[in-house]
Amino acid sequence: MQPAEFFPTVRIDRASPTPMYRQVETGLRRAILSGRLRAGVRVPGMRAYARHLGVAAVTVITAYDQLVAEGFLAVRPGVGTIVSDLTGHPAAVSDGAHRPQSLPAPRRPIATRPGPRRPFFEPQASEWPPVEIDFRTGSTRLDLFPHRAWERCLRAAWRELAAEPAGIATTYLHPSGDPRLREALAEYLGASRGVHCEPDDIVITAGAQAAMRIGVELWVTGRGPLAVEDPGGPHLFRALEAGGAELAHVPVDQRGLRLELLPRESAGVLVTPSWQYPAGGTMPIGRRLQLLTWAARRGAVVLEDDCDSELRYVGHPIASLQGLAGQCGATVLYVGTFSKVLFPGLRTGYAVVPGPVRELFLARLEASYRGPGALEQRTLAGFIAGGHFHRHLARLRAAFAERQSLALTALDRHLGGLVEAAPAPAGAHLVVRITDPCVTATALNRAAVALGVAIEPMSLSRALPAPDDAFVLHYARHGLAELEDGIRRLRRAFDVSGSASTWSRGAASA
C-alpha cells in the first residue's frame, strides 16, 4: 500500500451537481497538466485511492478509465497505471525536436484538383445506387428518434417565432443564429465537450461543412495548403477544394494525424481528434498539445471537426482541442453538427469562433447562405434546453453499442477468416479489413450492390495510395435482422467476387 502522502489531492464537493467521478477526473487532469503529477509517476491503486477520498471504488475506476482513454494515464502491465509522458506540452516541447530524422520529408500537397464537376450524390444514382441494406455512411434512420418530443418542440418553436416582433423568423437581424439555440448550445458544449464558450462565441451554420468553408476562406486560402487527414471525409474535402483550398493529405495512425508528416508551410490543419473519421482512433492528450503548440508557433489555424464525439461508448467524450487552445496560444475553430446524431435534413451545424475574427466570419456567412431556417433553430433550442437531446444521445449510444456488437458477431459468423474487424469504442461504423489478398473492397462492393447491399470502400476516403483492402460498415442504421441479413449477403458477394481460394472456402462453409 502506498503511503498517504502519495495520494494526489483533488477537491471533492459533495454538494455539487457534477458527478463525483467527473470531479476526481478533472482534479487529476489538472494535476497532470500543471505538472504536479509528473510523467512516469504511478497513480495510487483504485481501491486505496477511493478509500482515501471517501468515494466508491467505481468512481475512481471511471475517472481512471476516462483519463486512460484521453491519454493522460497509461496502463503498464506489471507496473500499474502511470502518468503519461505528455511530450508536446508547451512547457516541455521544442519545435521540431520530436521529428524523427529517419522519417520521410514532409509530403508535398497533392496537386489541387479542379472544383467539382458533378454532384457526389448523383441524382441519377449511378454512383450512389439505392440498395435494400445500406452500410455506407452519410445517412440515418429515424427509428430511434424521439418523434413526440421533437413534435412538441416544433409546435412550441413555431408559436414562439410567430409571436416575436423582430426575431429570427421575420428579419435578418441575427446573422449568428437564434440566440436561444446559442444559449442552449453553449451550456451543452461546456458541460459535455469541454469547450470554453459563451453564447456569443457560437455561430449557427447550415451544417459543419459550411462552417469549415468559411474557416478555410478566412485563415487558409492563399496562405498555404490545408493539411487534412488521410483517410478523411471526401465530401468535405471536395467542398473545401471548391472553395479554393489546396489540400495536403497527411496519413493518420491509431492516435490520429501523424504530426511529424505535417508540411511545414501548412496554413491550417483540419482534424477529427475525438474519433478519427473514418479510420477511428482518438488523439491522446500528448499529441493534442503537440499539435496546438505546433500550430501556435507556425501561426496555423486548427480546424477541429468534432464529428462522432457524442457517440462514445466507453467513458465520456474527450475534451476538445478548443478547450486546450488557450494555454498553448493556438487558434482553433471548433465545428460540430447535428446531422449525424439527429438527421442530415436538419442542415444545422455550429462553430465556436475565436473573438478576433467573429465579425469577419459573420460577414462571410451573411454573404453566402445565412445559416439554417428559423424553425429548425428554435426547435433544436427547445430540444436541447428541455433535456431531450441529452436523453436522445444516451439512447443512441446504448442502441449503437448493441448494434456494433451484433455486427461484430455476424461478421465473425459469416465472414470469419475473410475479414478482420476490431470493436470500436466510439462512432457509428466499423472499419473492416479484408484478409483475403484476392478480393478488393471495390470489387466486393460491386458484387454486394448486385445483391442489394452496399458497403463503403475505404479507398473513397483516401487520396494517398493505399491497398484497397478495407471498407466501412455503418451499422447504426440497421436493426438485428437487417445486420444479419446484410452481412450474410456480403458473404455471398465475397464468393462471387473472390478468387479460387475464396470459392473453395465459400464452398466449405456453405
Q: Which of residues 384-443 bind a second copy (CB under 8 A)?
A: none
Residue 45 in contact with residue 66, Cβ under 8 Å?
no
Query: Which residues, 254 to 313, sit near a second copy by CB under 8 A?
Result: none
**Cβ proximity to a second copy, 262 vs 365, nearer residue:** 365
**Cβ proximity to a second copy, 101 vs 124, nearer residue:** 124
Residue range at the interface with a second copy (CB under 8 A); choices 47-55, 92-100, 201-209, 448-456: 201-209
Residue 29 in contact with residue 67, Cβ under 8 Å?
yes
Pick from 58, 191, 367, 422: which binds a second copy (CB under 8 A)?
A: 367
Grid cell 489546396 is found at: 246
Q: Establish if 166 lies at the interface with a second copy (CB under 8 A).
A: yes
Pick from 89, 213, 478, 489: which binds a second copy (CB under 8 A)?
A: 213
Q: How far is CA 267 from CA 225, 228, 264, 294, in A?
A: 6, 11, 9, 11
Q: Establish if 210 lies at the interface with a second copy (CB under 8 A).
A: yes
Q: What is the size of the binding site for a second copy (CB under 8 A)? A: 71
Pick from 118, 356, 508, 510: which binds a second copy (CB under 8 A)?
A: 118
Three cell numbers, residue 403: 448494434
Closest of 276, 353, 297, 358 to residue 322, by C-alpha = 353
**Cβ proximity to a second copy, 321 vs 384, nearer residue:** 384
Burial degree of 196 (CB within 10 A; 0-12, 13-18, 19+): middle
Pick from 35, 96, 119, 387: which binds a second copy (CB under 8 A)?
A: 119
Pick from 74, 82, 92, 360: which binds a second copy (CB under 8 A)?
A: 360
Tell me phi and psi for residue 276, to 5 degrees: -55, 130
Three cell numbers, residue 233: 471525409
Closest of 70, 30, 51, 6 to residue 315, by C-alpha = 70
Residue range at the interface with a second copy (CB under 8 A); choices 173-181, 225-233, 274-282, 301-309: 173-181
The minimum distance between CB 227 and a second copy, in angstroms, equals: 20
Rounded CA separation 52/160 (Å): 52
Q: Establish if 169 lies at the interface with a second copy (CB under 8 A).
A: yes
Q: Establish if 129 lies at the interface with a second copy (CB under 8 A).
A: no
Residue 83 in contact with residue 37, Cβ under 8 Å?
yes
Residue range at the interface with a second copy (CB under 8 A); choices 362-370, 393-401, 463-471, 482-490: 362-370
Query: Which residues, 440 to 499, sit near a second copy by CB under 8 A?
Result: none
The minimum distance between CB 441 and a second copy, in angstroms, equals: 21
Burial degree of 81 (CB within 10 A; 0-12, 13-18, 19+): middle
Three cell numbers, residue 408: 461484430
Residue type, 83: V
Q: Establish if 326 lies at the interface with a second copy (CB under 8 A).
A: no
Residue span 228-247 as binding mask against a second copy, x where in contact by CB under 8 A, dash where not: -------x--xx--xx----
The minimum distance between CB 378 and a second copy, in angstroms, equals: 9
Strands in 456-502 per DSSP E: 456-457, 470-474
List, in sequence order, every residue forming a beta bridge with 269; answer none if it has no partner: 227, 302
Give the CA count within 13 Å in the CB-facing half-sphere of 235: 12
Residue span 51-80 as binding mask against a second copy, x where in contact by CB under 8 A, dash where not: ------------------------------
Residue range at the interface with a second copy (CB under 8 A); choices 191-199, 221-229, 360-368, 432-440: 360-368
Pick from 376, 456, 469, 495: which binds a second copy (CB under 8 A)?
A: 376
Q: Within 87-141, where are the H helices?
A: none
Among left, alpha and beta (phi > 0; psi -120 to 50; other), residue 33 is alpha
Residue range at the interface with a second copy (CB under 8 A); choices 155-163, 224-232, 307-315, 419-427: 155-163
Q: Are strands 202-205 and 456-457 parallel, antiparallel or unpaired?
A: unpaired
Grid cell 481528434 is found at: 273
The minimum distance between CB 278 and a second copy, in angstroms, equals: 16
Residue 452 in contact with residue 496, Cβ under 8 Å?
no
Q: Establish if 151 lies at the interface with a second copy (CB under 8 A).
A: yes
Q: Establish if 160 lies at the interface with a second copy (CB under 8 A).
A: no
The minimum distance between CB 492 and a second copy, in angstroms, equals: 23
The minimum distance between CB 284 and a second copy, in angstroms, equals: 32
Give the count of beta carbons closer than 10 Å to the beta carbon of residue 131: 18
Pick from 9, 16, 18, 170: which binds a second copy (CB under 8 A)?
A: 170
Q: How far is CA 297 from CA 265, 267, 290, 329, in A?
A: 12, 11, 11, 9
Q: Establish if 146 lies at the interface with a second copy (CB under 8 A).
A: no
